[in-house]
Structure 1
Amino acid sequence: MLDEAKINCIEYLVAGVEKTEIAKLIGKSRQAIYDWINKDDEFKAELAKRLRERKTEATRKINNKLPQAIDKIWYLIENAQSEKVKSDLLKYWIDRELGTPTSKIADVTEETTEDISNGDLEQEFNKFKVLKKAE
């Protein structure tokens, strides 16, 4: 069974309070808190449960506001004075639906181990010179 100090510690951890501050608030050492987090299975289970509950609650709140947020974004796209705002929102909307394009360029050339002789290079350059003169 978790004692009052551990229950309070869990509540503070879930709220995002720093461990050093929690130690002062509950009258325990930081090391005790680390020991509970790493070695006390009951403490770890309760902390994980509370964190899941917090995440579930936050997700529920966000999902409840989602239709309003979408309507607001679309309103701004249509009515914003700033072209930058419109552009940024449209880009966000498109990236959200189609995926964000990557900036990485893949090298798809085949690597060859053939040695190219100076004669081969000279022939290629001569072809380009002929093409250039024909233009």
Structure 2
Amino acid sequence: MAEDRKTDAQWREQLSRDEYKVLRQGGTEAPWTGEYVDEKRRGVYRCRACGAELFASDTKFDSRCGWPSFWTPMAGDRVRLLEDDSLGMRRTEVRCANCDSHLGHVFYGEGWDNPDDARFCINSISLTLEPADDAQ
């Protein structure tokens, strides 16, 4: 599913400075600042860099962590999971499988009432919402 790889210069031209920092350099937006933290409309969340469908709104839940949270991607092959030992702790990074952009991290075993006890903690700036036709 991987798209043709863009050069760093092409990504810098396509993305805003803040988008580039998160999507291409693995940064994180500040908590509670993203446009989708409190979003309730139905629809599909896509990768802001390449447009790949990543998460469905019916898997989004309020984890009270300051970033949009989902309990699963639309399909397992939509994202890549990488071990991340930065910041002195072990985490699992979530990347778009299509364009390899950084999306956020996934955490397991926190006691969430979903099939995998998972929280995909995703930066709003990594996503765009395509609202469903009947979204309110």
TM-score category by the smaller chain?
Answer: under 0.3
Structure with the bigger percentage of helix = 1
For normalisation by structure 2, the TM-score amounts to 0.19
Query: Which is greater in Rg?
Result: 1
Task: Give the TM-score, by structure 1 length.
Answer: 0.19
| Larger proportion of strand | 2
Q: Which has the higher contact order (CA 8 A, sep 6+)?
A: 2
